[in-house]
Amino acid sequence: MDLISALTVVLLGATPFLEARYAIPLAILYGFPAPVAFFLGILGNILVIIPLLLLLEPVSTWLSARSLTMRKFFGWLFQRTRRHDHYIRRFGPPALFLFVAIPIPVTGTWTGCAAAFVFGVRFRHAFPAIAAGAIVAALITTLPTLSLLDLFGGV
């Protein structure tokens, strides 16, 4: 396993829609030992959470100040979603955790960060919930991959 391959797994883990839950099984199929594949995929997936949570608000503010279309979009988005924010206020970070932990399409860390931004969940509450959800989702997808490989005799 060379450095380029390891960086590829980290980048795949950081990629929206793929994230760790797809990067890890792919890395295992390419020959990475399972613990190394898991670490690299999760590393990429968790590292992306920090800039997303920190930059979504300033970027949306900047875009809204410079574009009427973006101002209308963010106004619509906040009006539409924040009318349901009683669920987030009631369940908060555990809701983010569950949302990210369920490994179905469009429920990963990128969407979890967007939800935290839209619903105004603070970084110190959102980061651990989203990171823990990413780890659980990765485990849910990695363990069956390992079981199938054992069942069929590896790669």
Q: Which residue is associated with the tokens 């199929």?
A: 29
pLDDT at 50: 96
| Global model pTM greater than 0.75 | yes
User: How sure is the predictor about 135, in pLDDT bands with cuts at 50, 70 and 90?
Assistant: very high
Q: Identify the three-state secondary structure at position 49.
A: helix
How far is residue 120 from each of residues 49, 103, 112, 114, measured CA to CA in Å?
15, 23, 12, 10
Question: From the CA atom positions of the chain, what is the Rg in Å?
Answer: 17
Distance from C-alpha of 137 to C-alpha of 133, rounded to nearest angstrom: 6
pLDDT digits over 56-92, tens only?
999 989 999 999 999 998 888 777 776 666 766 677 8
pLDDT digits over 8-57, tens only?
999 999 999 889 988 998 898 888 999 999 999 999 999 999 999 999 99
